[in-house]
């Protein structure tokens, strides 16, 4: 039982590690090879396409995982999902091509149309990937998820070593990476003896859309929260400021690596416990305490290393200029971890309307905050709006979850991060160089965690027990 958990976690760790390393390598190479203006335009195009394809997914990604994890037959569910992506993806790209042809604005239309072709292929791969995730075949899922970044990162490293990367080469590399993702996903899906039912009818398809309707609102809201600030900065500020903000935000996303490892394990496990009416409240709190310890440690590490490390590797382009932005973004990390756990619990229990209401309100707060703060505070304003919205979301989820007491969540989420921030302030006050700052900061953080009893062995045991495949809990 635990060996399966170890295999699943190991597969996710490898997949996320490879993905994040290559993703960061891609971002770093582009930040060095492109001017800030071109880098900003490139990231604005990616943000637009990310937003568009996420919304087009209609929330069927999560619903596919949930249905297959709960025991429904793989082929019919995947077939309906595939029908959806083929219809919506083809229609969207056709409209995008028409708009780009009419606008003829360089380099924005070049980036949009070329990168859009690649993202369309990646979108077509999503039904196969989610089917494999629903069956908890995480080793196969790791290959499906990582291959695109491996191809892109490897090609960019080679091209960047030989000569300066041109725009045509850049878009060709991105399309090749997304094409590889589709090819590998199809091969793995059918290689595991899964099928596609070509007779999947439109009545069943529309029924699936109706079932996913609450999740569509969630997808729209979460997508806007993750990229609306990029789009707005690019529109009302400048491509240069978007380049700076997107660099900081990308590193922040990479820093959520532990969350990305655990999150895919939670949905199928929580769904099975919910289906069996098992109580997992204590296990949820144990996982949350373990994740808060990790999130707070990353806050400390990220802010101690930021300026000296990033200014060195980017030749002074993206380090000190983002000091305040990365600090504010990092403070939202504990909320992000806790929200993922509480969202998964609600999703597993089928509380889609409650999730939609919570994330919808959060999205309104985030968008309003961006509109109010970005014109005056620019990048820092976007970071503040994001952190506030994540805090609001945590408050709303806590109020919705009747099984967990509010004071338990407050103590769990606030404890470790406060220890990290205190340790960071001490290090900054002492004005130490990098290595002594890391040693003293980590030592003080671990001491405060131990003294306050914020993470104990029982939490680790409960977390392992909850996530272990086939574990039976008493209702």
Q: What is the mean pLDDT of residues 412-423?
A: 92
Burial 414-430 (b: 16+ CB within 10 A, else e): ebbbebbbebbeebeee
Which of 13-27, 43-57, 106-120 is predicted most confidently? 43-57
How is residue 70 written in tokens?
Answer: 């709960």
Cβ proximity of 156 and 127 under 8 Å: no
pTM attached to this predicted model: 0.76
How is residue 167 written in tokens?
Answer: 């725009």
Cβ proximity of 334 and 413 under 8 Å: yes
**pLDDT for 5:** 56
Pairwise CA distance, residues 300 & 330, whole Å: 9
In this predicted model, what pLDDT tens digit does every residue of 180-206 receive, in sequence order?
999 999 998 888 877 787 666 678 888
Cβ proximity of 230 and 36 under 8 Å: no
Mean pLDDT, the chain, integer: 84
Task: Name the residue among 13, 28, 20, 21 with its Cα closest to residue 309.
Answer: 28
Cβ proximity of 434 and 312 under 8 Å: no
Cβ proximity of 32 and 314 under 8 Å: yes
* Type and span of the H or E element at 199: none
pLDDT: which is higher, 395 or 468: 395
Pairwise CA distance, residues 449 & 439, whole Å: 16
Angstrom distances, CA of residue 361 to CA of 214, 218, 221, 387, 395: 14, 10, 9, 14, 11
**pLDDT for 473:** 44
Task: Name the residue among 22, 24, 26, 35 with its Cα closest to residue 317.
Answer: 35
Work out the pLDDT band at 475, boundaries 50, 70, 90.
very low
Question: Looking at the predicted structure, is the pLDDT value of residue 121 above 70?
Answer: yes
**Residue 56 CA to chain centroid, in angstroms?**
17
Cβ proximity of 173 and 47 under 8 Å: no
Contacts of residue 130, defined as CB under 8 A and 6 or more positions apart, other chains included, come to: 60, 61, 62, 64, 65, 68, 78, 81
How is residue 45 written in tokens?
Answer: 């195009």
Pairwise CA distance, residues 392 & 417, whole Å: 17
Pairwise CA distance, residues 324 & 15, whole Å: 31
Q: What is the mean pLDDT of residues 297-314?
A: 92
**pLDDT for 50:** 87
Q: What is the mean pLDDT of residues 259-288?
A: 74
- Kindly state the percentage of the chain with pLDDT values over 70: 90
Work out the pLDDT band at 104, boundaries 50, 70, 90.
low
**pLDDT for 21:** 79
DSSP secondary structure string, 111-172? Answer: HHHHHHHHHHHHHHHHHHHHHHHHTT-HHHHHHHHHHHHHHHHHHHHHHHHHSPPPHHHHHH
**pLDDT for 336:** 92
Cα dihedral value 461, 463, 467, 471, nearest 10 = 50
In this predicted model, what pLDDT tens digit does every residue of 395-417 receive, in sequence order?
999 988 877 877 888 888 998 99
**pLDDT for 1:** 47
Question: Looking at the predicted structure, is the pLDDT value of residue 108 above 60?
Answer: no
Pairwise CA distance, residues 19 & 165, whole Å: 22
Nearest 5 degrees, angle CA 216-CA 218-CA 222? 120
Nearest 5 degrees, angle CA 25-CA 266-CA 153? 15
**Residue 253 CA to chain centroid, in angstroms?**
7
Max CA pair span of the chain: 69
Judging by beta carbons within 10 Å of its beta carbon (0-12, 13-18, 19+), is residue 356 exposed, middle or buried? buried
Among 158-162, 266-270, 345-349, name the one with the lowest average pLDDT: 266-270
Contacts of residue 8, defined as CB under 8 A and 6 or more positions apart, other chains included, come to: 136, 138, 265, 469
Cβ proximity of 142 and 11 under 8 Å: yes
Among 277-281, 302-306, 410-414, 444-448, name the one with the lowest average pLDDT: 277-281
Pairwise CA distance, residues 423 & 281, whole Å: 31
Q: What is the mean pLDDT of residues 146-161?
A: 87
pLDDT: which is higher, 91 or 240: 91
Task: Name the residue among 263, 247, 307 with its Cα closest to residue 431.
Answer: 307
DSSP secondary structure string, 431-465? Answer: T--HHHHHHHHHHHHHHHHHHHT-S-HHHHHHHHH
Work out the pLDDT band at 279, boundaries 50, 70, 90.
low
- State the sign of the Cα–Cα–Cα–Cα dihedral 344, 347, 351, 352: positive
């Amino acid at each position: 039982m635990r060996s399966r958990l170890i295999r699943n976690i190991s597969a996710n760790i490898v997949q996320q590690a490879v993905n994040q390393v290559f993703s960061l390598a891609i971002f770093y190479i582009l930040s060095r090879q492109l001017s800030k203006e071109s880098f900003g335009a490139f990231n604005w195009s990616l943000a637009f396409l990310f937003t568009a394809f996420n919304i087009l997914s209609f929330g069927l990604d999560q619903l596919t995982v949930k249905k297959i994890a709960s025991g429904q037959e793989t082929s019919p569910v995947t077939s309906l999902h595939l029908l959806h992506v083929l219809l919506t993806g083809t229609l969207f790209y056709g409209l995008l091509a028409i708009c780009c042809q009419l606008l003829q604005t360089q380099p924005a239309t070049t980036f949009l149309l070329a990168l859009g072709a690649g993202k369309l292929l990646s979108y077509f791969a999503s039904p196969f990937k989610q089917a494999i995730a629903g069956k908890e075949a995480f080793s196969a899922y790791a290959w499906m998820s990582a291959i695109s970044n491996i191809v892109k990162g490897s090609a960019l490293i080679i091209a960047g070593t030989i000569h300066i990367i041109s725009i045509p080469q850049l878009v060709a590399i991105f399309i090749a990476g997304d094409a590889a993702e589709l090819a590998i996903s199809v091969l793995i899906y059918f290689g595991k003896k899964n099928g596609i039912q070509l007779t999947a009818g439109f009545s069943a398809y529309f029924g699936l859309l109706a079932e996913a309707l609450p999740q569509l609102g969630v997808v729209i809201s979460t997508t806007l929260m993750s990229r609306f600030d990029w789009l707005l900065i690019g529109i009302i500020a400048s491509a240069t400021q978007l380049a700076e903000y997107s660099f900081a935000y990308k590193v922040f996303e990479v820093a959520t690596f532990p969350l990305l490892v655990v999150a895919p394990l939670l949905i199928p496990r929580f769904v099975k416990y919910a289906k069996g009416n098992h109580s997992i409240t204590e296990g949820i709190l144990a996982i949350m305490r373990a994740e808060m310890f990790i999130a707070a440690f990353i806050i400390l590490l990220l802010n101690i290393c930021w300026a000296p490390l990033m200014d060195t590797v980017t030749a002074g382009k993206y380090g000190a200029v983002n000091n305040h932005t990365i600090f504010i973004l990092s403070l939202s990390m504990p909320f992000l971890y806790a929200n993922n756990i509480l969202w998964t619990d609600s999703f597993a229990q089928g509380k889609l309307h409650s999730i939609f209401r919570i994330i919808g309100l959060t999205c309104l707060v985030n968008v309003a905050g961006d509109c109010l703060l970005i014109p005056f505070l620019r990048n820092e304003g976007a970071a503040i709006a994001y952190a506030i919205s994540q805090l609001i979301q945590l408050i709303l989820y806590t109020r919705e979850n009747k099984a967990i007491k509010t004071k338990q969540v407050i103590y769990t989420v606030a404890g470790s991060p406060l220890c990290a921030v205190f340790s960071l302030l001490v290090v900054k006050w002492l004005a130490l160089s990098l290595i002594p700052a890391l040693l003293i900061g980590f030592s003080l953080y671990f001491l405060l965690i131990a003294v306050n009893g914020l993470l104990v062995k029982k939490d680790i045991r409960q977390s392992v027990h909850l996530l272990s495949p086939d574990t039976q809990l008493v209702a």
